[in-house]
Amino acid sequence: MALYGDIRWRPNLLLKEQEKLSAGKITEKYQALRCKRGVCRTSSLELIGEEPLLIRIDEKPYSVVMRTPGEEIFHAAGFCLGEGIADTPDDFMTIGYCKDLDPNVIDIRLKPERREKIHDILARRGFVSQTSCGICGKEMIKDLYQILTPAENGFEVEVNSIFDCINKLSENQSHYQTTRGSHAAIIFDDQLEKISFAEDVGRHNALDKAIGKAFMSRKLFKASILVLSSRISYELVQKAARAHLPMMISNSRPTALAAEMGQSLNMTLACAGEEAELIILCGENRIVRE
């Protein structure tokens, strides 16, 4: 099996293999017609790539997500953390590409003790799937809260520093500048130093990848602020809560359910308003104002 064994001791191999096994193009160029004031011209247009990724757990399909090719192992690791499949990297016996080295398939083997502990989650594959919008019922919300814990207090940040973090998100985005079709997520520590960044066609995928990088490098415990290019939805609050991130900032307003969920989990949710305005939905105690 072409799987990674002890991922703690082979980070360099992990990264090299990821680079070698690119599943497809991150961006692709297409010919398009641009029309302005009645005048049309043909022009090359760069679009963000999208490919399916199958995540298999203990040889059984668990979920298929549509994502931008690249960083598949980190993506799967972040996804597993968000779903409650893993609590630490040590829960994985192996994680890597399938035996055929198909970059669109990630195979994960859990340690027996972890598999036994999450039997109900594995039996209900994708019961909190992040690949689609919407929610299938109140019972899912109840199930979801069982794997989440409230954020701890103690972390504070000045309001002006939050805008610096928002600006750093766009500064790190390379594919959005050319495609206008990608989402991004960036994670900072309590000193506002970047821990990880990811960009993807899907907002859930971008967050999975960013969390997965911090998770697999064992830096997630330092994470304090998450900045998203997209709106904050309940699924993204779930992922951030599983990663023990106390603060989420976005460029768009969160959904009502996300705000309610964030408040119940003692999280700080805020978004950028007009003309350098910050709108705080909950957890204002972590934001130092003048």
H/E stretch holding 226 reads strand 223-228
H/E stretch holding 237 reads helix 234-242
CA separation for the pair 160, 184 (Å, rounded): 21
**Position 234, amino acid:** Y
CA separation for the pair 141, 198 (Å, rounded): 27
**Any idea which residues carry the catalytic annotation?**
133
H/E stretch holding 210 reads helix 203-216
Alpha-helix residue ranges (DSSP H) falling in 42-93: 72-83
CA torsion sign for 136, 137, 143, 149 is positive
